[in-house]
């Protein structure tokens, strides 16, 4: 009887030991993951600081160029006024043409700088999205006017939430330029679902969504990724949202909002790639 009790005690102790070992291992793994996440957030914030310093410098250049553009414009108007009043107009016209050429060059330079500003702001927004996803904090987003605004964090969304929202759109008729359940086009659908499920504002057109997304191969697709197609003139002109198992939801011009398979011959032929935000 004593031997039996001793054996039972040994068995219980072994179970307790293995349970503790498993807990310790799980805790250790969690700590490693959290450490990795914190390190990534620190690196991303350093990148944000660097980009915002660059952005500040570019905006200073933009202001300087805008001031120079205004000055050239006033001088050109002044020369045009002189030409109307004076008889000898050749010299004045030449000076005016030179000023107008300078003004055109300055406007081109200013346009390049503004494009650069837009690209930096997009890059900052993407990094802020990643930080918000990792830490659950609010993030700073640059809007179209270049001003920064604070938005709510992106929730970590389960595939079921995506599928639930996707089902709500099934059967909606196609309408070019539409963004509501009374009628929606392909990029309008992806934009609305992303806003509802991920709290992310996508660019309005499928081409812009493709251009700004992180490219993903077909084999690397995950639920929530965008899938793009080059149907017209060899450029991206259609977008859908990947749901898993090679299925995606999209707004078809003929059938409205439906779920299709990437393995269908038509979509295989025109598939351009995946994108992730």
Domain CATH number, residue 204: 3.90.1720.10
pLDDT at 234: 82
pLDDT at 133: 62
Name the domain boundary from 151, 183, 218. Answer: 151
| 215 and 182 both lie in a single domain | yes
| pLDDT confidence bin for 78, thresholds 50/70/90 | confident
The answer to whether residue 125 is domain-embedded is yes
The answer to whether residue 13 is domain-embedded is no
Name the domain boundary from 91, 126, 151. Answer: 151
SS (H, E, C) the chain: CHHHHHHHHHHHHHHHHHHHHHHHHHHHHHHHHHHHHHHHHHHHHHHHHHHHHHHHHHHHHHHHHHHHHHHHHHHHHHHHHHHHHCCCCHHHHHHHHHHHHHHHHHHHHHHHHHHHHHHHHHHHHHHHHHHHHHHCCCEEEECCCCCEEEECCCCCCCHHHHHHHHHHHCCCCECCCCEECCEECHHHHHHHHHHHHCCCCCCCCHHHHHHHCEEECHHHCCCCCEEEECCECCECCEEEEEEECCEEEEEECCCEEEEEECCCHHHHHHEEEEEEC
| 137 and 233 both lie in a single domain | no
The answer to whether residue 111 is domain-embedded is yes
| 46 and 98 both lie in a single domain | yes
How many domains does the structure of the chain reveal? 2
The answer to whether residue 7 is domain-embedded is no
pLDDT at 12: 57
pLDDT at 205: 94
Name the domain boundary from 151, 169, 189. Answer: 151
The answer to whether residue 62 is domain-embedded is yes
The answer to whether residue 11 is domain-embedded is no
Per-residue pLDDT reduced to its tens digit, 168-217: 999 999 999 999 999 999 999 999 999 999 989 999 999 999 999 999 99
pTM recorded for the entire structure: 0.47
| 127 and 163 both lie in a single domain | no
Instruction: Please identify every residue annotated as catalytic.
Output: 186, 238, 250
| 127 and 191 both lie in a single domain | no
| 254 and 270 both lie in a single domain | yes
| pLDDT confidence bin for 88, thresholds 50/70/90 | low
| 226 and 271 both lie in a single domain | yes
Residue range(s) defining the domain that contains residue 49: 41-151
The answer to whether residue 15 is domain-embedded is no
């Amino acid at each position: 009887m004593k031997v039996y009790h001793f054996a039972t005690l040994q068995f219980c102790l072994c179970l307790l030991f293995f349970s503790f070992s498993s807990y310790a291992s799980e805790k250790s793994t969690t700590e490693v993951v959290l450490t990795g996440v914190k390190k990534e957030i620190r690196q991303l914030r350093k990148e944000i600081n660097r980009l915002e310093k660059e952005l500040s410098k570019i905006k200073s250049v933009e202001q300087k160029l805008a001031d120079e553009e205004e000055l050239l414009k006033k001088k050109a108007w002044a020369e045009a006024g002189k030409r109307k009043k004076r008889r000898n107009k050749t010299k004045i016209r030449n000076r005016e043409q030179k000023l107008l050429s300078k003004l055109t060059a300055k406007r081109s330079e200013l346009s390049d700088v503004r494009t650069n500003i837009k690209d930096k702001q997009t890059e900052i927004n993407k990094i802020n999205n990643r930080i918000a996803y990792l830490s659950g904090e609010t993030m700073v987003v640059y809007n179209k006017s270049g001003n920064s605004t604070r938005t709510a964090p992106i929730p970590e969304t389960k595939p079921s939430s995506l599928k639930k929202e996707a089902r709500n759109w099934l059967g909606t008729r196609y309408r070019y330029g539409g963004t509501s359940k009374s009628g929606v086009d392909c990029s309008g659908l992806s934009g609305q679902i992303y806003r509802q499920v991920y709290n992310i504002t996508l660019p309005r057109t499928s081409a812009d969504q493709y251009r700004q997304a992180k490219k993903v191969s077909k084999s690397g697709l995950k639920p929530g990724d965008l899938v793009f197609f080059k149907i017209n003139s060899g450029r991206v002109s259609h977008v859908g949202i990947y749901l898993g198992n090679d299925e995606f939801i999209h707004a078809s011009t003929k059938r409205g909002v439906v779920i299709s398979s990437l393995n269908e011959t038509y979509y295989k032929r025109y598939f351009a790639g995946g994108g992730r935000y």
